[in-house]
Amino acid sequence: MAHAADLAIEDLNVERRAEPIGIDALHPRFAWRLVGAGSNARQTAYQLQVVNTDVPGATWSTPTWDSGRGEGADSTYVAYAGPALVSRHRYSWRVRVWDGDGLESAWSTPALFEMGLLSAADWSARWIAHVVPDLVSEPDEMPRQRPAPVLRRRFGLSSVPRRARLYITALGLYEAYVNGTRVGDERLAPGWTDYNRRIQYQTYDVTSLLHQGENMLAVRLGDGWYTGSVGPWGRHRYGDEPALLCQLESQHASGELLTVATDSHWLARNSGTWLNDLQAGERTDLRNEHSNWNTVAFDDTGWDPVSLRAAPGSRLVAARDDGIKMVEVLPALSVRAVGTGSGSPRYLVDVGANAAGVVRLRTAGKSGQHVVIRHAEALDATGELYTENLRGAEQQDEFVLADTAPVTLEPRFTFHGFRHAEVSGVDAPIAAGDIESHVLSSATRLVGAFSCSDPLVDTLQRNIVTSLRANFISIPTDCPQRNERLGWTADLQIFAPTALFNADVTNMVDKWLDDLVDTQLPSGAYADIAPAPSGWAGAGNTAWSDAGVIVPWVLYERSGDADVLDRLYDSMRRYVVFLEADQTNGLRFGGRYGDWVSLGARTDKLFIGTAYLVYVFDLFARIAAVLGRTADEQHARELAEKARRALQRTFVDGDGRLTVDTQTAYAMALGFELLPESIRPAAGERLAQLVDAADTHLATGFLGTPLVMPALSDNGHHELACRLLRQDSHPSWLFEVRQGATSIWERWNGWTPEQGFYSPRMNSFNHYAFGAVGDWMYRYLAGLHPVEPGYRRTELRPQPGGGFTAARATHESLYGTHACGWRIDDRTLHVDVRVPANTSATVVLPVDTIDGLLVNGQLLADSKGAAAAVGGVRIGVPPGQHTLEAPYRHA
Ligand code: BGC
């Protein structure tokens, strides 16, 4: 049999993860990457085999499931359709494909996946807690915090296991140890959900940590979102004390399966951490810590018994993402001693970027000495930490040293939004090498890159990624510093396209959509934040609640995952029913927030509400179409049409002008296709005039900002859009950059030379929303446009302008790396593109003739494969890397 030898198969993944363990998808979806170039580097058929490695004798010749030959190009989201997958079982799978010529590839190298605990009956563990009887609080005082408990369980193993797994979760946070070694590298696990409905558990491979004989499983518990502060509402939003549920299962060659689960045999005590809170920080007295408390050797005489707790009624679900990790280390850029005099000096440390994370400090002192670390985003005019804008979030860590030995101090159960830290209470001077910031994020893997010829725009890109990472912490949040840190829904719907270009957050956003559905009211409205702790009432607001339809659509477009639409369909449909009931003759008032934090211009909320009504009905119609729900599609189209006509009747005057004369209104009208075709060009003109009239400045808030740039570029004003991006006077993206911003600010006027800091009541320096321009930078400036869901087809459309002489974007989709880069020199436009196998791409060049056009060094002799069309020359390119050169004169 002839082999398509040059088509390799790589990067096998299941549920968008490489060799995941502990998954609970009953029909997991497979994806693989084809590696090859040329027009045959595409799949015309595949065959996939799965073998249950836990069934003795199972082999590739007797697979558990064989897909048979599946015709077609699908190399992503191919769902398992074999016999029911079994809890704990480990499966091996492989795939082969047929290429464009019908030639067959070799089988891929097999990859593994492993099931988690699929039913409640698989859990023998009971919920346990350490109850402290003497927690009394003085009248009129803050309730006394309960110290973070540590729990341990000794157990014996007759042999070294061949496989061991720890299934674990907590109400609160956990850090687990086996024989003194930390299990995994997740932070703040199990993450945030509405604990009354769903609790995520994680699965870890602990095989290599166990040995024959006595072993120790030990866990430290923290308060987290469950017991600690959430938003501005203080502590105890879900419960009063943390609790643990875990189950260590080891399999032995003898066939023995041993389970060590949380039960009444565990022992517990208070750790030295007397306070831990995501907002307040962590306070630990190292004199009450024991270095080997989590090992067998430790004498636990006098430890308390644990108490069993009733299981919460919520569902246990396997975590779908990789959790929060330390994603970067920021070394101290400078350390400055201040406030000498009688006391010991304080040290002000600048780590160079306003990220989310914790400080790690190496120091030494005396027993009983208090080392205090405070955190802030900025310095005030006197050079001290500026903490007012943190509102109620103290962001302070404190350690009481145990002895004179050198120690490394780092909190476990908190994070701070900061660039500057102040250390006090140390004896020895702090050198830059003694202190660093450990950046924490759920956005562990960056999958995109953008760069261009303007270094200030490159800094903007870096700031976008910093704010992305700082605000993807278990859930997508508004900000990581003040007493808020909530899953504000509009912030994400605005920023999701940019986030998905830059980082692999698909699984995390997919999980968050379940959090959002958990907030849905009987009326069908989604809350404005998700998760929404009990008592939260805001729901149904335009652009916020609408995230329930917008985000699934964006996720589908960018990931290609149609199942997300299917899973959420009934919920989205209920939301559409809510919208239908909440409008009057096609008009809807846009709720509480409007074009949030817009400077100057106010855009009528009836306009905004109605504009979003059209947009959401349109999206829902497209969603229904993808799923083949024809009647729903038809109905949604009618609703959209009715709202569109109502908007036009109410807001378009006799001259075809909007009566709401703001940048946001025009950007929305163009972006959401609200206007009759005939008046679109004039609307584009008017938008450009408004930007011009503002001296090439924005007058937009959260809702208008992401729409202005595409609306300009799509309507003949790309040059103006480029100049707007490069604007560096207030208000603008680069104004912030010029002020030294290392993250994206919540407000255009967060700080100005004239006014200093804006009111501390709402002034974060780490809100990703305005970073939504990143999507335009990738798609319009560099020209990387995904046009079919999941990047199956791209348009690579370099669009120079505004004096940029180069730009380049890359993105790694499930298919591989896509790239579009361009530069101009010597009146030549040089373009280089990359097209992964099994995808197709069209390069669209901003020239009007194919004369002199070189493709991979060859003159494009005739117009075969190329067509000069309005908006540029279009050239289909096969998978591979290509360079194109065209004579080009600056506009
Ligand atoms: C948050 C925003 C959010 C808004 C809603 C603010 O406090 O920080 O980002 O979307 O409230 O009004």
Q: How many residues does the chain have?
A: 891
Cα–Cα distance between 43 and 750 in angstroms, integer? 51
pLDDT at 1 over 70: no
397 lines ligand 1 (CB under 6 A): no
Tokens found for residue 526? 């989604």
Distance of alpha carbon 92 from its chain centroid, rounded?
29
Cα–Cα distance between 787 and 794 in angstroms, integer? 5
- Per-residue pLDDT of 683-741, as tens digits, reads 999 999 999 999 999 999 999 999 999 999 999 999 999 999 999 999 999 999 999 99
**Binning pLDDT at 50, 70 and 90, where does residue 2 land?**
very low
Query: Which one from 15, 114, 746, 812 is the annotated catalytic residue?
Result: 746
Full-model pTM: 0.97
Q: Which residues contact 377 (CB under 8 A, 6 or more apart)?
A: 354, 386, 389, 417, 418, 419, 420, 481, 743, 764, 765, 766
- The reply to whether 398 belongs to the active site is no
484 lines ligand 1 (CB under 6 A): yes
3-state secondary structure of 810: strand
Q: Are strands 198-205 and 315-318 parallel, antiparallel or unpaired?
A: parallel
241 lines ligand 1 (CB under 6 A): no
- Per-residue pLDDT of 468-524, as tens digits, reads 999 999 999 999 999 999 999 999 999 999 999 999 999 999 999 999 999 999 999
Q: Contact at 8 Å (CB) between 106 and 15?
A: no
pLDDT at 135 over 60: no
**Binning pLDDT at 50, 70 and 90, where does residue 145 land?**
confident
Query: Which one from 186, 249, 422, 484 is the annotated catalytic residue?
Result: 484
Q: What pLDDT does residue 139 have?
A: 47
CA–centroid distance, 528 to ligand 1, in Å, is 9
- The reply to whether 484 belongs to the active site is yes
Nearest CA to ligand 1 atom 3: 488
CA–centroid distance, 483 to ligand 1, in Å, is 12
- Pick the closest to residue 839 from 879, 809, 810 (CA basis): 879
Query: CA 590, 593, 598: angle at the middle one, nearest 5?
Result: 110
687 lines ligand 1 (CB under 6 A): no
Our mutation pick for probing the ligand 1 site, out of 485, 491, 528, 765, counting the most ligand atoms within 8 A of Cβ, is 491
Cα–Cα distance between 647 and 608 in angstroms, integer? 10
- Per-residue pLDDT of 64-121, as tens digits, reads 999 999 999 999 999 999 999 999 999 999 999 999 999 999 999 999 999 999 999 9
Closest-lying ligand 1 atom to the alpha carbon of residue 488: 10
CA–centroid distance, 593 to ligand 1, in Å, is 8
Our mutation pick for probing the ligand 1 site, out of 390, 484, 488, 766, counting the most ligand atoms within 8 A of Cβ, is 488
125 lines ligand 1 (CB under 6 A): no
What phi-psi label fits residue 705: left (phi over 0), alpha (psi between -120 and 50 degrees) or beta?
Answer: alpha
Judged on CB neighbours under 10 Å (0-12, 13-18, 19+), 801 is buried
14 lines ligand 1 (CB under 6 A): no
One DSSP character per residue, 248-281 reads EEEE-TTS-EEEEE-STT-EEEE-SEEEEETTTE
CA atoms within 13 A on the CB side of 812: 11
Q: What pLDDT does residue 791 have?
A: 98
